[in-house]
Amino acid sequence: MASKAMSGKGTVLSIGENPIVEVKTFQFSGGKNDTEDVTNSDSTGRAKEFIVTLLDSGQLKCGGNYVGSDAGQLALRDAFKSGALTDFGLVLPKTAAQQTSGDKFAFSAVVEESNIDVQYDKAITWSGSLKISGVITFTAGA
């Protein structure tokens, strides 16, 4: 059977209503459920027991080519400077079965890191880290 894997080309990261141009990398990481050990004298056997307490949605690390005039990159830097909780969206490319749009992820985050890398023999790039607050809302593409 042929693979249904797909390329990330065409993925769009937006801050508010502004798409961020020329993004090359997107990586959700660090999502986890916190747990609490609730093992007690009434627990059966010798195995520990746990309950889930809080969800940490983690972060989105991203980066790309620096375009100083891009409204999305400017908004990202402004959000970093202000420290404000900001709405973001990530839309994946359409699959062969999707007609209108690809899968969507919506979330609020604080821009935790904002970096610019300048080297004389390379393209100027930017990178950042978005610390996600609350849950990531997933909407399947159509």
Tens of pLDDT, residue by residue over 46-72, are 999 999 999 999 999 999 999 999 999
User: Nearest to residue 111, comparing CAs of 127, 124, 135?
Assistant: 127
| pLDDT over 90 at 117, yes or no | yes
Domains in the chain: ranges and CATH = 12-35+48-139 (2.30.110.20)
Q: How far is it, in rounded angstroms, from Cα 121 to Cα 138?
A: 40
pLDDT at residue number 4: 86
Residue 121, C-beta contacts closer than 8 angstroms, at least 6 positions apart = none
The pTM score is 0.91
Token reading at 26 = 């997107």
Q: How far is it, in rounded angstroms, from Cα 130 to Cα 88?
A: 9
Torsional class of 30: left (φ above 0), alpha (ψ -120 to 50), beta (otherwise): left
